[in-house]
A and B are shown apart, each in its own frame.
Chain A
Amino acid sequence: MSKDIRESVSALMDGEASELELRRLLQADSEEVSVTWSRFHAQRSALHGEPKFSGMDVSGAVRAALAGEEPLQRGMSLDWRKPLGGFAIAASVAALVVFGLGGTGQQQAEQLAASGSGPETSGRVYLSAPAAVTTGTVNASTASGQAPRFQSIADEQARQRFERLLQQHSERAAVSSGQGMVTYVRLASHGAK
């Protein structure tokens, strides 16, 4: 396991990854990155005394790796939820993140994103255990503002689509989720008629 990768993943989790580190991760062997990523998450949950996922099927390989490895000091004292909590909210809908899907003339940030969601990780990824989480998770975290370097734009069209589909989804969820009133409140908070 390369030290660079480890440090970059750690920085990404802290929301402190530099452009360079992001590039390094996106270019690195995705298997190595994902194993590191999920292992750090497991470590953090444990260190923060969160017994939440004790029932999860953490693969034997990860456990073995955990046992043989010295503790990672960097960033452990930080509250890693902080960068997650910092995401900005527009009037009624939260952050919009656009990932470019390649093609020329795209902005650099989009190309960066594209190399993370490109052919090697797009399509179906069958996850059997958290240890198998792919770089898809890296993208996932960007939407909650963890890596603000991805271009965040207020796209009116996308926002409208979101509100329209959210309404249709919520109407369905209201009669299916077993938490009817909660879904109605979600609907109402979007100004649905």
Chain B
Amino acid sequence: MLKQVLIRTLSLSMLSLAAGGVWADDAWRWLERMSHAHREMSYQGVVTYQIDDRLKSYQFTHRVDGGREFESLQPLDSDADGLVRQGHRVDCVHPAERLLRNQTAANGTGDMAQYYELSLGEPGRVAGRDVVTLDIMPRDAFRLSHHIALDVMTAIPLKTETRDQSGKVLERFQFMMFEVGAAEDAAVADSAREIHHGELLPAEAEAQLLGEMAWQPAWIPDGFTLAQFKDPGSEALSYTDGISMFSVFMESGGGPAVSPSASSMRSGATVSYSYPIPDSNLVTTVIGEVPLLTAEQVAKSVAVKR
């Protein structure tokens, strides 16, 4: 019995090796297209967001106007305030995009292939449109897996599922209705908030930024790179591997009344791990779309200088 299992496991890995060269390249290109397509076009629709048995729905609008992005998300099933964001220029390249570009430039054989295995699945239909499906599987224990359905015409993700290492779906995001093109709503646009810009740091700049910080994690999983943000007001470091992201925060612990304990929270695919730095009044929190194992290891490695 177990022998068969072993044989099966081995043959599957051989199969994926054989497949790797031919299809993986295509899969990486779809992912790279997705990373900028969803920013470059105007579109709107109704999306649902599901965590466990909770389901929420939103009217979503993404508009590109004069080379700048505008996004609006209005809840359809509650009185809660919506979210309105005004992005920066469409032609600026974001950290994950940069990593994915490097990856496709290397025909899918770049660094990211060490950490994720990509494959194209069966085509299907989402929100009445034809989609290609993309499976993103981590090769180590520090990342989550993703299943994404991309609109064939536009490469915009119409459905994404984020799963843990056992295959359990942590959250699901899906368009119910989708159309290309979006009308302007001046009233909503006025309340839009500017979003901050992030970029990947070259090695020297990264060393300089870390040198200025009073603390830094001594360990991060291979493949994650520091992304810098113009985000005054918050002392944090964010890391991306091109697909997932986590941020490391440092705060004061709130005095001796607070018991020294590590805590962890989860919401959908996002986990946090807070860890009090021994012999200090500081608490570090790692938060991101990664397994708790990753958040915990990074948090516990954070070292305060002097």
Contact = CB atoms under 8 A, between A and B. Distances in A.
Given A54-B9, A175-B198, A184-B83, A101 B73 contact: no
A77 to B, nearest CB: 13
B238 to A, nearest CB: 5
Given A124-B301, A139-B296, A165-B272, A176 B96 contact: yes
A69 B6 CA distance: 11
Candidate in A87, A129, A185 with the most chain B CB atoms within 10 angstroms:
A185
A93 interface: yes
A71 B2 contact: yes
B267 interface: yes
A70 B301 contact: no
Contacts of A193: 81, 83
Interface string B135-179: 001111110010000000000010010001111100101000000
Given A63-B6, A176-B94, A178-B100, A169 B297 contact: no
A81 B296 contact: no
Given A124-B300, A169-B247, A185-B173, A175 B81 contact: no
A158 B195 CA distance: 26
A20 B235 CA distance: 43
Contact of B300 (A45, A52, A63, A122): A122
Nearest to B200: A176
Contacts of B245: 169, 172-173, 176-177
Contact of B238 (A53, A172, A191): A172
A50 interface: yes
Interface in B166-203: 166-168, 171, 173, 195-198
A67 B204 CA distance: 48
From DSSP, what is the main secondary structure of chain B's interface residues?
mixed
Contacts of B142: 127
A93 B51 CA distance: 10
Contacts of B258: 157
A143 interface: yes
A2 interface: no
Contact of A93 (B35, B196, B197, B267): B267
Contacts of A93: 265-267
B288 interface: yes
Contact of A110 (B60, B137, B261): B261
Contacts of A125: 297
A178 B262 contact: no
How extensive is the interface on chain B, given as a class? 35 or more
A95 B266 contact: yes
A185 B271 contact: no
A92 B124 CA distance: 32
A157 B272 CA distance: 14
Interface in B246-299: 246-247, 249, 251, 254, 258-272, 274, 276, 285, 287-289, 291-293, 296-297
Candidate in B71, B80, B234, B267 with the most chain A CB atoms within 10 angstroms:
B267
Interface in B219-246: 219, 227, 229, 231, 234, 236, 238, 240, 242-246
A143 B96 contact: no
B77 to A, nearest CB: 11
A17 interface: no
Contact of A165 (B8, B231, B285): B285
A96 B265 CA distance: 5
B300 A179 contact: no
Interface in A121-177: 122-127, 129-130, 133, 136-137, 139-140, 143-144, 155, 157-159, 161-162, 165-166, 168-177
Contact of A178 (B97, B166, B259): B97
Interface of A: 41-43, 45-47, 50-57, 63, 66-67, 69-71, 80-81, 84-85, 87, 89, 92-101, 103, 106, 110, 117, 122-127, 129-130, 133, 136-137, 139-140, 143-144, 155, 157-159, 161-162, 165-166, 168-182, 184-193
Given A179-B34, A184-B71, 14 more contacts: A93-B267, A96-B264, A98-B262, A101-B262, A124-B301, A137-B141, A143-B265, A143-B271, A144-B164, A178-B34, A178-B96, A179-B157, A186-B269, A191-B81
Per CB-CB distance, the 6 closest pairs between chain A and chain B, nearest first, are A178-B35, A178-B96, A54-B12, A140-B292, A94-B266, A55-B117
